[in-house]
Amino acid sequence: MSEATSPFDPEAYAAAMSALLALKLDPTWMPAITANLRVLAAAAELVNGGPPCDGLDAAPRFEV
């Protein structure tokens, strides 16, 4: 992650996204949701740090 970006705040992110997605979040769900968001953010960082994929299309089919 670039030094210029702010640290990821999953609580604030979940609150903002829930409005966009029209999801009502019970406050008691938030610890689990934010824990999952952290895991997903780590997974995305791992994938985004992988080999360059410029010019590659998504490949949901496997005919060879």
- Binding site residues, other proteins, CB under 8 A: 13-14, 17-18, 21-26, 29, 32-34, 36-37, 39-40, 42-44, 46-51, 53, 56-64
CA 21/CA 58 separation, integer angstroms: 25
Least spacing, CB of residue 22 vs other proteins, in Å = 6
Least spacing, CB of residue 3 vs other proteins, in Å = 20
Least spacing, CB of residue 10 vs other proteins, in Å = 9
What does each C-alpha distance from 56 to 10, 27, 31, 46, 49 come to in angstroms? 30, 41, 37, 18, 16
Tokens representing 52? 């360059």
Tokens 């949701």, residue located: 33
Residue whose CB is less far from other proteins, 4 or 52:
52
